[in-house]
Structure 1
Amino acid sequence: MPSQDRVAPGTEARAWAVGPSSSQDRLRGLLRAVETVVGEIELPVVLRRVVEAAVDLVDAEYGALGIIAADRVSLDQFIHVGLDAEAADAIGHLPRGRGILGALIAHPQPIRLGHLGEDPRAAGFPAHHPRMDSFLGAPVRVRGEVFGNLYLTNARRGSFTGEDEELVRALASTAGFAIQNARLFDEARTRAAWMTATAELSAAILSTPLDNILDLLAGRVADLAPGSRVSVLVPIDDSPVLRVAAARGPGEDEILNTTAGGTGGVSGRAMETGSLRLGTVARTPGARDPALLTTDDEEGPVIAVPLRTRQRTWGALSVARSPGERGYSPVELEVLGDLASQASIAWELSRARGEQQRAILNDERARIARDLHDHVIQQIFGAGLTLQSLAAALPDTGDRHRMDEVIRQLDDAIAQIRTVVFALSARDGGSLRHRLIDVVAEASGALRRPPALRFSGPVDSTVRGPLADDVVGVARELLTNSVRHADANTISLDVGIGRNDVWVVVADDGTGIRDPRRSGLANLADRAEARGGALTIETGTGGTRAEWRVPLAAEGEAR
Structure 2
Amino acid sequence: MAESPAQGRQGLPTAPQLRLDELLEGLQAQVEQVRAARDRVHTLLDAVLSIGTDLDLDVVLRRITESAVAVVDAEYGALGVLGEEGRIKQFITVGVDEDTIRAIGHYPEGEGILGLLIREPEPLRLADLGTHPESVGFPAGHPPMTTFLGAPVRVRDRVFGNLYLTDKRGGAEFDDDDEAVLRTLAAAAGVAIDNARLYEDTRRRERWLAASSELTRSLLSGTDPDQVLHQIATTVRSLSGADLVTVAVPIDGGDELVIEAADGEGPERVRGLVLPATTLAAKVYHSNERVTSSALSAEPQAGGGSAAQLDLGPGFLLPLGDGENVRGVLQVANLRGGSEFSEATMAMISGFADQAALALEIAEHRREAEHLLVLTDRDRIARDLHDLAIQRLFASGLTLNSVLGRVADRPQVAERVQRVVDDLDDTIKTVRGTIYALREGDRPGPRSGLRAKLLAETDQAAGLLGFTPALRMTGLLDTDVPTEHAEHLVAVLRETLSNAARHAHATAVEVTAETDGTRLRLRVADNGSGIDPAVTRRSGLDNLRRRAADLGGSFTLTPNQPTGAIAEWTVPLPAPASS
TM > 0.5 fold call: yes
1:56 and 1:281, CA in 2 relative to 1: closer, same or farther beyond 3 A? farther
Which string of whole-angstrom CA distances, capped at 9 and with x for unpartnered residues, describes residues 513-539 of structure 1?
xxxxxxxxxxxx96694499999xxxx
Q: Which moved more, 1:256-265 or 1:172-181?
A: 256-265
Matched with 1:24 is: 38
Q: Is it true that 1:372 corresponds to 2:366 in the alignment?
A: no
How far the C-alpha of 1:273 sits from its partner, in A, is 5.4
1:269 and 1:168, CA in 2 relative to 1: closer, same or farther beyond 3 A? same
Q: Which moved more, 1:177-186 or 1:410-419?
A: 410-419
State the one-letter code of the partner of 2:109: R
Q: How does 1:270-285 map to 2 (within 5 A)?
A: 272=287, 274-275=289-290, 283-285=298-300
1:183 and 1:321, CA in 2 relative to 1: closer, same or farther beyond 3 A? same
Matched with 1:360 is: 373
Q: How does 1:28-43 map to 2 (within 5 A)?
A: 28-43=42-57
State the one-letter code of the partner of 1:362: L
Q: Which moved more, 1:405-414 or 1:372-381?
A: 405-414
How far the C-alpha of 1:330 sits from its partner, in A, is 3.4
1:169 and 1:395, CA in 2 relative to 1: closer, same or farther beyond 3 A? same
Matched with 2:68 is: 54
State the one-letter code of the partner of 1:40: D
SS at match of 2:259: strand
Q: Is it true that 1:237 corresponds to 2:247 in the alignment?
A: no
How far the C-alpha of 1:392 sits from its partner, in A, is 7.8
Contact 1:50 1:175 in 2 (8 A): yes
Matched with 1:460 is: none
C-alpha distance in structure 2 between counterparts of 1:230 and 1:531, whole Å:
36
State the one-letter code of the partner of 2:355: Q
How far the C-alpha of 1:420 sits from its partner, in A, is 2.9
Q: How does 1:5-404 map to 2 (within 5 A)?
A: 19-72=33-86, 74-85=87-98, 88-89=101-102, 91-116=104-129, 119=132, 121-126=134-139, 128-162=141-175, 163-207=177-221, 208-237=223-252, 239-260=254-275, 264-265=279-280, 268-269=283-284, 272=287, 274-275=289-290, 283-285=298-300, 290=305, 299-302=313-316, 304-308=318-322, 312-377=325-390, 386=400, 389=404
1:264 and 1:295, CA in 2 relative to 1: closer, same or farther beyond 3 A? closer
State the one-letter code of the partner of 2:484: D
C-alpha distance in structure 1 between counterparts of 2:548 and 2:44, whole Å:
85
1:319 and 1:531, CA in 2 relative to 1: closer, same or farther beyond 3 A? closer
SS at match of 1:40: coil
1:395 and 1:117, CA in 2 relative to 1: closer, same or farther beyond 3 A? farther
1:86 and 1:422, CA in 2 relative to 1: closer, same or farther beyond 3 A? farther
Q: Which moved more, 1:76-85 or 1:359-368?
A: 76-85
C-alpha distance in structure 2 between counterparts of 1:100 and 1:244, whole Å:
46
Q: Is it true that 1:421 corresponds to 2:435 in the alignment?
A: yes
State the one-letter code of the partner of 1:219: T
How far the C-alpha of 1:108 sits from its partner, in A, is 1.9
C-alpha distance in structure 2 between counterparts of 1:160 and 1:429, whole Å:
87
1:251 and 1:290, CA in 2 relative to 1: closer, same or farther beyond 3 A? farther
Listed as ranges, the gaps of 5+ residues in structure 1 are 1-15, 436-463, 475-524, 536-559
Which string of whole-angstrom CA distances, capped at 9 and with x for unpartnered residues, describes residues 300-347 of structure 1?
0426354136x6332333423345544333333333333222222222
Which string of whole-angstrom CA distances, capped at 9 and with x for unpartnered residues, describes residues 462-495 of structure 1?
xx99993338999xxxxxxxxxxxxxxxxxxxxx
SS at match of 1:71: helix
Identity %: 36
1:471 and 1:370, CA in 2 relative to 1: closer, same or farther beyond 3 A? farther
Q: Is it true that 1:470 corresponds to 2:470 in the alignment?
A: no
C-alpha distance in structure 1 between counterparts of 2:285 and 2:482, whole Å:
40
How far the C-alpha of 1:254 sits from its partner, in A, is 2.5
SS at match of 1:307: coil
State the one-letter code of the partner of 2:66: E
How far the C-alpha of 1:369 sits from its partner, in A, is 2.4
C-alpha distance in structure 1 between counterparts of 2:382 and 2:367, whole Å:
22
How far the C-alpha of 1:124 sits from its partner, in A, is 4.6
Contact 1:301 1:325 in 2 (8 A): no
Q: Which moved more, 1:332-341 or 1:50-59?
A: 332-341
Contact 1:240 1:263 in 2 (8 A): no
Listed as ranges, the gaps of 5+ residues in structure 2 are 1-29, 450-478, 490-541, 553-579
1:529 and 1:37, CA in 2 relative to 1: closer, same or farther beyond 3 A? closer
Contact 2:128 2:148 in 1 (8 A): yes
How far the C-alpha of 1:69 sits from its partner, in A, is 0.3
1:471 and 1:264, CA in 2 relative to 1: closer, same or farther beyond 3 A? closer
SS at match of 1:308: coil
SS at match of 2:84: coil
How far the C-alpha of 1:263 sits from its partner, in A, is 5.3
Which string of whole-angstrom CA distances, capped at 9 and with x for unpartnered residues, describes residues 176-200 of structure 1?
1211122122222222221232233
Which string of whole-angstrom CA distances, capped at 9 and with x for unpartnered residues, describes residues 74-113 of structure 1?
1121222334556545554333223332222222233344
C-alpha distance in structure 1 between counterparts of 2:55 and 2:548, whole Å:
70
Matched with 1:9 is: none
C-alpha distance in structure 2 between counterparts of 1:418 and 1:239, whole Å:
38
C-alpha distance in structure 2 between counterparts of 1:402 and 1:527, whole Å:
53
How far the C-alpha of 1:65 sits from its partner, in A, is 1.2
C-alpha distance in structure 2 between counterparts of 1:36 and 1:45, whole Å:
10
SS at match of 1:157: helix
State the one-letter code of the partner of 1:361: V
How far the C-alpha of 1:173 sits from its partner, in A, is 1.9
Contact 2:488 2:547 in 1 (8 A): no
Q: How does 1:423-462 map to 2 (within 5 A)?
A: 423-428=437-442
How far the C-alpha of 1:412 sits from its partner, in A, is 5.9
State the one-letter code of the partner of 2:438: L
C-alpha distance in structure 2 between counterparts of 1:219 and 1:240, whole Å:
26
Matched with 1:481 is: none
C-alpha distance in structure 1 between counterparts of 2:303 and 2:66, whole Å:
41
Which string of whole-angstrom CA distances, capped at 9 and with x for unpartnered residues, describes residues 257-306 of structure 1?
3345565526734763545555568933565774769987x840426354
Contact 1:302 1:327 in 2 (8 A): no
State the one-letter code of the partner of 1:197: A
Q: How does 1:465-544 map to 2 (within 5 A)?
A: 468-470=483-485, 529-530=546-547
How far the C-alpha of 1:68 sits from its partner, in A, is 0.2
Contact 2:256 2:282 in 1 (8 A): no
Matched with 2:11 is: none
C-alpha distance in structure 2 between counterparts of 1:392 and 1:78, whole Å:
107
Contact 1:205 1:343 in 2 (8 A): no
Contact 1:247 1:255 in 2 (8 A): yes
Contact 1:136 1:153 in 2 (8 A): yes
1:531 and 1:23, CA in 2 relative to 1: closer, same or farther beyond 3 A? closer
How far the C-alpha of 1:33 sits from its partner, in A, is 1.0
SS at match of 2:258: strand
Count of residue correspondences: 433
State the one-letter code of the partner of 2:199: F
Contact 2:393 2:424 in 1 (8 A): yes
C-alpha distance in structure 2 between counterparts of 1:96 and 1:420, whole Å:
73
